[in-house]
């Protein structure tokens, strides 16, 4: 009986899976599962929150307008990444709402924390 060929996962010497290939991050032909794409979107959003928090704190801006601008820019970056760069079918991953919410709460918290700390330490 002929055995079906399966694609083995690459393991290191210690039995762990091989590291994530960074080239996959910009490859529209790459296949994504829900967890992988969710993780990538989560960490992109965290980096976005930290960068914008540091910028908003370094330039002494205050107010709700800047908070809303962060939310719009952060969501725009995530939307652009999965729809324009990766060209994934959002319905396979739960729709736009699920993808846009990925990491939103944590990144908002990181954004506010970095914004408040940098602003307070640098301008008082």
| Whole-number Å distance between alpha carbons of 69 and 49 | 12
Residue in the structure block whose two tokens are 């992109």: 44
Residue spans per domain, the chain:
41-123
Q: What is the pLDDT of residues 23-67, one digit of tens each?
A: 888 888 888 899 999 999 999 999 999 999 999 999 999 999 999
- In whole angstroms, give the CA distance from residue 52 to residue 49: 5
The pTM of the full predicted model, rounded to 2 decimals, is 0.80
Distance CA 71, CA 45 (A): 10
- For residue 17, the cross-strand partners are 11
């Amino acid at each position: 009986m002929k055995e079906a060929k399966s694609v083995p996962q690459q393991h290191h010497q210690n039995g762990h899976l091989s590291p994530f290939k960074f080239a996959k991050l910009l490859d529209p032909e790459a296949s994504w599962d829900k967890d992988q794409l969710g993780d990538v979107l989560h960490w992109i959003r965290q980096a976005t929150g930290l960068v914008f928090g540091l910028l908003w704190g370094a330039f002494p801006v205050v107010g709700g307008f800047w908070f809303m601008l962060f939310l719009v820019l952060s969501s725009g970056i995530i939307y652009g990444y999965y729809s324009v760069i990766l060209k994934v079918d959002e319905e396979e991953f739960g729709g736009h709402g699920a993808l846009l919410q990925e990491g939103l709460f944590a990144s908002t918290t990181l954004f506010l924390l970095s914004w408040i700390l940098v602003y307070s330490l640098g301008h008082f």
